[in-house]
Structures are given as structure tokens and as C-alpha cells.
Structure 1
Amino acid sequence: MNAALKNKPDSVGYAFFDVDDTLISVKSMLSFQDFWYERFSEHQAKERYYMDLRQHMHENASWEVLNRLYYQHFAGRRVADVEQCGEAWFTHMEENHPDLFHAVPLAELKRHQDEGREVVFVSGSFPAILKPVARVTSVKHILSTLMEVENECYTGRILTPQTIGAGKAEAIKIFLASVNGVAEHCYAYGDDISDLPMLQSVGKPTVVRGGRGLEQRAQELGWRIISPV
């Protein structure tokens, strides 16, 4: 971490953004897998992945369980191939989805940057597809799922903290400790009930409408609620 960032006044704070369905209008992980299987002829692996998805993806699914299950399907993939495919995926999304970014949360992100806050992505997704999103939004910091690597290939296991559910709050705590940040001065944006621990970990939470179960909880807590568009 550079000295300038470490000396940033605490009162400025940081703005933490969930990405999928909060800032962008797609679930990046699922979209990426569709894109991957269109590019690579892995028929048996594709069948296993979609079978797992049908079995475990439902309204009350545990995002933590789904997250770990999802990354198991990366076992054996070359890191370089995934990184290249991540860039190609984002280019494809930009070209084919003019509504890729939610207008209102994107405006909030830019407002925080204009006011001198550092924006930080906090996502259960992974760097190869978050980096292009961060690049076009001038976001320098990403707290995301990190996959274990052996011999330049993914093993299918993820490292800690798992940046979903309570793990998002843990990742934010570690990040703020590294930059002398004060949680009470920070903002956070999320859309899903799994984002609740992240939102509770800062002083200024905002909920984006449309996710599972979070809007009602936000109303009970008196939190700010915004529409995605």
C-alpha cells in the first residue's frame, strides 16, 4: 500500500461496493461460465457444472455454499487461460449489454470518487472478471475470491477469507486495518441478504433494490435504499 493512501484522512472514508446486481446488471460468475463453455469444448465438465447449478441454485440457496461449489469447476484450468477469457468476456459484455452498469449505483460510485473517497469492490467473484470492471470505473482496490494455484493451474479450492456473507465483513476489516481506515466513516452498497454483514460493518450502508430479502431488513433498520436505475 503506498504512503499517500496510508496517510489518507480517516474522515474521508472508503466506499465498498458489491458488484453483481449492485453495480452491474448480471451475475458475473454465471455469465463468465456460460462464456467459457462457449469458447472451450469441455462437454463433460459443462454437463457437471450445469447439473450442479440446477441442483443447488434456488431462492433460498446459501451463497457461501454455491460460491465454493462454483470454484470447484475451475480445477485444472490454466490461470492464463482464465485471465484471457475474463478480458474477452468483459469486452463481449460491453459490446452486447448497453445496460451492463446500473445507472444509479454507478453515479453513486462516481460521486464518492469526486468527493475524494477510494472505492473498493467487495465481491464473491474473482479477479479475472472484476479487473476489467474496476479498470473502466477507475477502481483501484478489489476484495474478491482468491483461488488456490498449483503449477499455474487452479486447484478448485479457494483461499480465506471467502468474500461472501460474513467473509465480506472480515475482508473489509482486514483492509481497513491495513490503511488505518475507520469503519464508521465508510460507506457500503449491496443488494442481497448475503450482503447484510458487509453493510452492518460500516457506518453508512445503502441497499440497492432488487435482491433477496435485504430491502425489508433495510427498512427495519432505517437504512438508505436506492433503485438500480
Structure 2
Amino acid sequence: MTALQTMTQEYVFFDVDDTLISIKSMLSFQVFWYQRTGDDEGRRAYEQDLHQHLHPGASWEFLNRLYYRHFKGRCPLEVRAMGRAWFDELRHGQVPFYHPRPLDELRAHQRAGREVVFVSGSFPALLEPIAQELQVQHLLSTRLEVHQGRYTGEILPPQTIGSGKVEALTQFLEAQGAVPEHCFAYGDDVSDFPMLSAVGQPTVVSGGRELEAKARAMGWRVIAPA
């Protein structure tokens, strides 16, 4: 190993929903949003889409784009404020917000001097409060298109789901002058497989769709959420 390699910063890429936290942030937030705003028409349209398209074999990439179409017309500042209120309520609710084992691992990586990066199809208004609490400096997440001060319902590339997570991760590491072989990643769902395959040290959090069997076949490390 060269002196340059020993100085390379190691990064730890964490999926968030069901990997680090115990809920699906996006679905939880929509319930919270419609309860707080009283937008019954919007809620009915959103629930109809969920009923039609959310099933065990669904494409997370498709659902991700469909989800954000329901943000069309929302004010980014209002969404950000609502995201903070969502976090404050869920974080101190009766259900534990974080999965204990992945949270312990995240903190252990930080103590070892590694930089944690969130990689999520969720969006900054929900991820920023989590990142602030856990002292995470880097977010690779969904960026929403804004026109005339309102969301258009479209997302900007790269879409941080599936192979899009690898694209975002690669761009980040190139900007940092780091290499994926020296990095770690955590995920729980089959959609995280490309990201986990891209780093030198992948870890799977059990309980997600179809990923644990793939991980064991690859000889990857598997941990329980608690």
C-alpha cells in the first residue's frame, strides 16, 4: 500500500429507510403532511396511487418518481418546516426511531475517523434533521425540481435509487479523490444491491426485500437491525 493510499479518506455509505431508521420516511411524511394540511383531495389521489402501484415486486425507481409527483405545487420552505416537525414528532414517539445495531455501527465508524454519507431516495427536508442529530455531513438524496418557487413534481438526476445510488456515490468519491474499494456501505433492500456491490466492504441489514440471500451467496456480512 502506498503512502497516498494510506491517507485516502474512508467513507461509509448508509441507506436510511429500514437500514438506519425503523420507518419508511417518505410514506410516513405523506401521512403527516396530509394530516397537518387537511388536503383531502391530494390525500385521496396519493392513496389511490399507492393502492394501485405499491406491491412486493414493485420497482422502487418507478414508485420514487410517482411519489414526488404528489409534491407538485408545494412550497419548498413549507416542506422543509414540515419535515422538521415530522422528525420532532417521530423521533420522540413511542416506536424507536433508529435501528440499534446499525446506529451503533455508524457511531463506531465515526469514532474510527470515517466519514458517513447518507444515500437515500428520500429528500433533504427529512434527512437533514437525522444527519444533524448524528453529525453526518454528507447527503446524497433526491433533489426536487423547483420552478417559480414551487416544486414541479419532477426530480433532478441522478435518481438516488438502485443504480442511481452508484452514480451518485461514484460522483461523490471522484470529487473527494477517494476510491470505492476503501469504502463501506449498508443497505437492506434489493434496490441497494448495486451500491453495496460498488464498495469494498458491504454490509446488509436483514429484513428487506430479497437482499439477504444475495448477500450470503456473495459472502457479504449480514447484521440484524437490533
Whether the TM-score (by the shorter chain) exceeds 0.5 is yes
Of 151, 156, 178, 2:175 maps to: 178
Residues 1:107 and 2:104 are matched in the alignment = yes
Residues 1:87 and 2:95 are matched in the alignment = no
Q: Gaps spanning 5+ residues in structure 1: where?
A: 1-6
Equivalent residue number for residue 19 of structure 2: 22
Aligned residues: 223
Q: CA deviation at 1:95?
A: 1.7
CA contact (8 A) 2:69 2:152 kept: yes
Report which stretch shifted further, 96-105 or 210-219: 96-105
CA contact (8 A) 2:9 2:178 kept: no
Of 56, 59, 65, 2:56 maps to: 59
CA contact (8 A) 1:189 1:199 kept: yes
Partner-residue secondary structure (3-state), 2:65: helix
Question: How high is the sequence identity, in percent, across the aligned residues?
Answer: 56
Residues 1:226 and 2:220 are matched in the alignment = no
**What letter is aligned with 2:131?**
A
**What letter is aligned with 2:144?**
M
Q: Please, what is the CA RMSD of the aligned residues? A: 1.3
Partner-residue secondary structure (3-state), 2:103: helix
When residues 10 and 175 of structure 1 are mapped into structure 2, their CA distance, relative to the original with a 3 A threshold, is farther
Partner-residue secondary structure (3-state), 1:105: helix
Equivalent residue number for residue 128 of structure 1: 125
Q: CA deviation at 1:11?
A: 4.1
User: Structure 2: how far apart are the matches of 1:44 and 1:215?
Assistant: 39
When residues 163 and 10 of structure 1 are mapped into structure 2, their CA distance, relative to the original with a 3 A threshold, is farther
User: Structure 2: how far apart are the matches of 1:86 and 1:152?
Assistant: 18
CA contact (8 A) 1:10 1:181 kept: no
Of 164, 169, 179, 1:167 maps to: 164
CA contact (8 A) 1:127 1:145 kept: yes
1:35-50 equivalence runs, <5 A: 35-50=32-47
Residues 1:192 and 2:184 are matched in the alignment = no
User: Structure 2: how far apart are the matches of 1:10 and 1:122?
Assistant: 24
When residues 58 and 10 of structure 1 are mapped into structure 2, their CA distance, relative to the original with a 3 A threshold, is farther
When residues 203 and 10 of structure 1 are mapped into structure 2, their CA distance, relative to the original with a 3 A threshold, is farther
Of 195, 203, 207, 1:206 maps to: 203
TM-score under structure 1 normalisation? 0.95
Q: Gaps spanning 5+ residues in structure 2: where?
A: none
When residues 67 and 8 of structure 1 are mapped into structure 2, their CA distance, relative to the original with a 3 A threshold, is farther
**What letter is aligned with 1:121?**
F
When residues 20 and 10 of structure 1 are mapped into structure 2, their CA distance, relative to the original with a 3 A threshold, is farther
TM-score under structure 2 normalisation? 0.96
Partner-residue secondary structure (3-state), 2:92: helix
Q: CA deviation at 1:97?
A: 3.8
1:130-169 equivalence runs, <5 A: 130-169=127-166
CA contact (8 A) 1:191 1:207 kept: yes
When residues 11 and 80 of structure 1 are mapped into structure 2, their CA distance, relative to the original with a 3 A threshold, is same
When residues 38 and 207 of structure 1 are mapped into structure 2, their CA distance, relative to the original with a 3 A threshold, is same
Partner-residue secondary structure (3-state), 2:21: coil
**What letter is aligned with 1:209?**
S
**What letter is aligned with 2:21?**
I
